[in-house]
Amino acid sequence: MAGASELVRKFHARYPASPAPRVWRAPGRVNLIGEHTDYNLGLVLPMAIDLACRVAVAPSNDGWLRVYSEQIGGGSQWPLADIPNALPVGDWTDRIVGIAWELSRRGVELRGANVLIDSEVPLGGGLSSSAALGVSLALALGGALALGGPRDPLEVAKLAQVVEMDFVGMPCGIMDQFSSAAGSAMLLDCRSLTWKEVKLPVDVAVVSANTMVKHELEVSAYRTRVEECAEAARRLGIASLRGAELGSLASLDGVALKRVRHIVTENARVLMFAAAAESENAAEMGRILTESHISLRDDYQVSCVELDFLVEAALQVDGVFGQG
């Protein structure tokens, strides 16, 4: 991936008549713990990583939004007049025009822009490449394409999340976007949207391993889990599974019981993990992470053979405290 100066050089090569661009950056993330709790308005503990998406953007005066992605090797363009009535086409460009579409829905005045995107966050790698793209675009287009776009990390994250849900059509929580917008490791309450930074022990390294299994939310069990959790909440008579307690699960059985049990116990594990991190208890942090994986495997049923193998293999390596 190009650094900022190299991205500016590529921008001028692609848009030679354009003025000098500004460059915006948003990182990918790993979620240390709090899996599938965000869309249940629960607790999560993600961490921004050093892989990021960069967007170079400069205003244009011809009434068009143009975009090119170095990672994809392609681009698209839209006349500004068409953006308020734009419809998704089912590819990566939905996230670009979707940001402009949402800005227009908010009554923000749009301006033409030339955009060049370069990202080192792997597509489909489970590191939130789509959130990094959405947040960097929300910042970039909110500055160059719109007059009055958002700057506050929470507002930027909300904008990017709304695009995912209302334009792209992905029923996601806010964790990925907020982690990318705010950075650092954080304990985030997805119901109140309050958060605090969590400092990890300085002598602990977080290693992300690639299972080589493609992570595609659109065709995965993600939508099914969202629907299962919503149905379980209805059966329990609560607004979301954030309000569920272990003692209230007697009326559930089968799949519903498993899904709710994971969410309730995972919220508790997030708090325990944060406390262990604050006391610099790496062994306890590892134990909790491994317990989270077991719950994801057995109760939420979203693991796979490759991931289970990596967990078991990693736990046999000296110096590994746990594997999520």
Catalytic residues: 176
Residue that is written with structure tokens 């507002």 in the block: 155
Neighbours of 218 (CB within 10 A): 10
Chain center to CA of 34: 13
What is the SS3 assignment for 66?
Answer: strand
- The residue type of 295 is S
Q: Supply the DSSP symbol for 320.
A: -
CA distance 69 to 62: 21
Cβ within 8 Å of residue 150, ≥6 positions away: 138, 142, 156, 158, 159
For 22, phi then psi, to 5°, come to -100, 150
How much is the CA Rg of the chain, to the nearest whole Å? Answer: 21
Residue 221 tokens read as: 């069990």
Do residues 236 and 256 lie in contact, with contact meaning Cβ atoms separated by under 8 Å? no
Residue ranges of the alpha helices (H) in 123-182? Answer: 129-144, 153-162, 175-182
Do residues 57 and 145 lie in contact, with contact meaning Cβ atoms separated by under 8 Å? yes
- The residue type of 282 is A
Chain center to CA of 54: 16
Residue ranges of the alpha helices (H) in 92-152? Answer: 94-105, 129-144
Beta bridge partners of 147: 109
Do residues 190 and 44 lie in contact, with contact meaning Cβ atoms separated by under 8 Å? yes
Q: For residue 55, which of 132, 153, 167 has the smallest C-alpha distance? A: 132
